[in-house]
Structure formats: C-alpha cells, structure tokens
Amino acid sequence: MPCLVPYSSNALPSALPSIYTIMKKYINFTNEEKLAFKREANERYDEFKARGLCINMARGNPSKAQLALSEDIFAVLKSGEDCFDSTGLDCRGYGTLAGSTDCRKLFADVLGVPFENVIACGSSSLNLMFDFISQCMTIGIGGCEPWMKQKNVKFIAIVPGYDRHFGIAKHFGIELVSVPMLSDGPDMDMIEELIKDDSVKGMFCVPKYQNPTGITFSEAVIERMAKMEPAAKDFRAIWDNAYIIHDFDNDGDPTYNIFDYAKKYGHEDNFVEFASTSKITFPGAGVAVIAASDSNVKEILARMTYQIISYDKINQLRHVKYFSNGKNMIAHMKKHGELLKPKFDAVARIFDRELGGLGIAEWTNPKGGYFISLNVTAASAKKVGQLCKDAGLTLTNVGATYPGGIDPEDKNIRIAPSFPPVEELELSAELLCIAIKKAVAEENL
C-alpha cells in the first residue's frame, strides 16, 4: 500500500544521540554501526524498564486541565427557573424530539447549516452513528430495502482509521473495504471505482483532523466526494466531524462544509454528519448532534419516535447558556489548543531528535485534533507496542487503526498525546523511540 500521507522522517535531529556524529539512514549503517546502535538501544531500553513507568496513552482523553476549562458550565443552571430555553420550553420535561431549538441553533452555527437540519441528542455521537446504521440495516433509508435484506453489504473504511467505526460495521456484519488515506484525504480514485458497486452502502469519514492521521480532507477531495454518484441509492457517508473546531491555534486547517458542496450536485442525501462536544466540554457528558438533509432528518426522527421520548435537554440548555453561539465555542477551543499544542510539539520534538533522518519511522504533524499517526517502516509495529507495554507504556492497540484490528503491513501506531502531562509525554515519546530502535536493531541485524 502506498503511504503518501505527509509524514515527516527526514528532519535533522536537534540533539544527536552520542554515537551519531554524522546523520545517516539506518539502512546505510555498517555492521559495526548497527551493533553500536543496538547496544545503545538495549541499554536505554533497560534503563527505562527499570524505572517502572505506568503511562496510558491508549485513548484520546482530554487532560484534567482541559476538563477544568468547562467547569463554569455547572453554574449556568441553578434552579428550575433557569431551565427554560428562549422559546419558553421547559427543558426538564418530555418532548421536543429534535432537541431544544436553542441547542439546534447553537450547532447550526458551528456546522454552517439551517437549524431545521440539526437534531440535538444525548452525549455520544458514536451512539448516534450506531443507531443510524442500525436504522439502515433494519428499516432501510431513502425508501430502499433494509440493508440486512440486501446481499453482501459493504462499507468503505479509510485506513488508518478509527477503530470504533470499524467496530460498528463489525457489529452489524457489514464488510469493510479498505481505502488508504493519502496526503489530502482518502484515495478518491479508489472510492469512485468502489461506489460503482451497489452493495457499497457508505463509508466512514473524519474530514477534519482525521483519527488517527490528523489530516484534513482538501477542498479537491471534498468536491469529489460531493460529486460522487454511488450506484446504491441508499449510500450514506457517515460524516464524523468529531474535530471540526479542534484547531490548536489560528493556523488550523480550513473547514469545508460538505453540504455546501453537495448542494451543487443535489447530493445532500449522501451525507449524514455527526459531531459532539466530547472534546469541547466533557466526553460522555457533552451534547451530540446529527446534521442531515431534510429527507434524512425526517427519516431519522421517524425512527427516533420509537426509540426515545426526548434526549437530555437540560444538558443541551447548559451548553446553550454556557456558549451562546458558535463563535464562543471556537474561542473556548483556543484554550484547549493552548493546552494541547505543547504536548503535540513535545512529541514531534522527541521524534525529530530520536528518529529524524534514520529512515526507520515517519509521523504526522497535525494542526489540531487528538492524534499523531506513526508508521514504523523498518520493524514490526506490534513488536514496538509490546516493548512499550513491557516498559510500562500502554499505547492504542497496535493494529486497531485497521479493520478487524489487523494492519496488513504491521506498521501503524496511533499516538494520543492529550492526557499525560508534558513531562510524562516526553518520557513516553522517548521510550517509544527507543523501542522502535530496539525492534529495528533486533529485526534488521
């Protein structure tokens, strides 16, 4: 599989490990240099192991300092009198299946769609994706036969990608067809070919700061996606915009509103967008939303009628009162960015220092989101993951970024730098680099 994502690997190290006076690719090392490299990697690894570290970087969890940024949200509702939205709706009661109008408007502002096309729900967007696919499976979408009555239903999995998307497909017995992530989004040539098959019913996309590469789809990719004419009339792209406003600073990637592009071709039905405040306020206690075309909204609400009387509108109102508008939400994300950027910078600095120029690994340098994607190009990623674990560092399960947990090239590792403090992160990144070097040295001597 070609790996064309903008990974760095050739930056010159800022501080050279003792044995390298001249930077050289590992493959060009003499046997003597390889032996010295191995010796140093082993020594450093053993030192780390002796420290008895216990660091978990498996998931993209906000740090305690990030959670504290939203602490004032608890103060916005003090009594029953505060529980009315601007339309006079008492958010403590049942009703208003599509969510409080104020909350729909808040997210409409962030997503750039009319509020009528937003449904404000509970706390998890993943839950909403699961329910939507369940709906397509059991009752169908767009007036088509339920997917479970159709043969060999398939979805496109952009790889590396988000393990929980792949998990939903697995749960419903949907076959996943992998399409590689390139430097500006997924391989659109491949996607355009695959959607000629009417058993291909959709795909999972994280268009901004993709999990795990941190890459944002370019405008050209968005345009081609909007233009797609899948053979399946019930094709639906799961447009998971989990990181839509998650820039580290003012230099973030651009945001392209898929519905603006799809409208030109009359293809709004092809996309169902999901987002949440899991990484804005609290994961597990934020607000999740769906944005979709008129007809998709109608079908989703019809299904929800059987599913729930109304979602947690008090939490919706809390978010409305706390943020008021999209601009304030973006301003709030700046504070997250200030906490996250030094962590991503620390990892990049150590990767550059330890691995730069050696040609044994490559990694992404995202401008937002929650993840860095690292490819080990001269050793087994599984072995690296195990070495880290044995020395007290838990990473995302190696392989998890591919369908079925199997990375065909055994090279991708997802790094989640958000949770540990910078000092722990520096240790973790150094240990990871040493583990890579040890694995390379053991496998390539």
Stretch that binds ligand PMP, among 93-101, 120-128, 191-199, 223-231 (CB under 6 A): 120-128
By the rule CB under 6 A, 206 interacts with ligand PMP: yes
By the rule CB under 6 A, 162 interacts with ligand PMP: yes
By the rule CB under 6 A, 136 interacts with ligand PMP: no
By the rule CB under 6 A, 272 interacts with ligand PMP: no
Q: How far apart are CA 84 and CA 88, in angstroms?
A: 5
Stretch that binds ligand PMP, among 48-56, 119-127, 144-152, 339-347 (CB under 6 A): 119-127
Q: Least distance to ligand PMP from the beta carbon of 58, Å?
A: 11
Contact 34, 438 (CB under 8 A): no
By the rule CB under 6 A, 363 interacts with ligand PMP: no
By the rule CB under 6 A, 278 interacts with ligand PMP: yes
Query: Of 75, 119, 72, whose CA–CA distance to 98 is shortest?
Result: 119
Choose between 29 and 274: whose C-beta lies nearer to ligand PMP: 274
Q: How far apart are CA 339 and CA 348, in angstroms?
A: 15
Stretch that binds ligand PMP, among 34-42, 168-176, 275-283, 349-357 (CB under 6 A): 275-283
* Crossing angle for the helix pair 422-444 and 31-50, to the nearest 10 degrees: 140
Restricting to residues 236-265, which ones interact with ligand PMP according to CB under 6 A?
240, 242
- Of the residues 9, 96, 100, 211, which one makes contact with ligand PMP according to CB under 6 A: 211
Q: Least distance to ligand PMP from the beta carbon of 185, Å?
A: 15
Task: Please give the torsion angle defined by the CA atoms of residues 182, 360, 421 and 213, in that order, rounded to the nearest 10 degrees.
Answer: 10
- Of the residues 13, 283, 357, 399, which one makes contact with ligand PMP according to CB under 6 A: 283
Choose between 131 and 240: whose C-beta lies nearer to ligand PMP: 240
Stretch that binds ligand PMP, among 195-203, 276-284, 295-303, 317-325 (CB under 6 A): 276-284
Mark 57-96 with x for binding to ligand PMP (rule: CB under 6 A) and - for no binding: ---x------------------------------------
By the rule CB under 6 A, 276 interacts with ligand PMP: yes
By the rule CB under 6 A, 418 interacts with ligand PMP: no
Q: Which tokens hold the place of 252?
A: 């973030």
Q: Which tokens hold the place of 339?
A: 């906490």
- Identify the residue whose tokens are 């950027």: 341
- Please name the residues in contact with 434: beta carbons below 8 A apart, sequence gap of 6 or more: 41, 44, 45, 48, 354
**How many Å separate Cα 2 from the centre of its chain?**
21
Restricting to residues 4-63, which ones interact with ligand PMP according to CB under 6 A?
60
By the rule CB under 6 A, 178 interacts with ligand PMP: no
- Please name the residues in contact with 180: beta carbons below 8 A apart, sequence gap of 6 or more: 1, 2, 3, 4, 158, 159, 186, 187, 190
Q: Which residues bind ligand PMP (CB under 6 A)?
A: 60, 124-126, 162, 206, 211, 240, 242, 276, 278, 283, 288
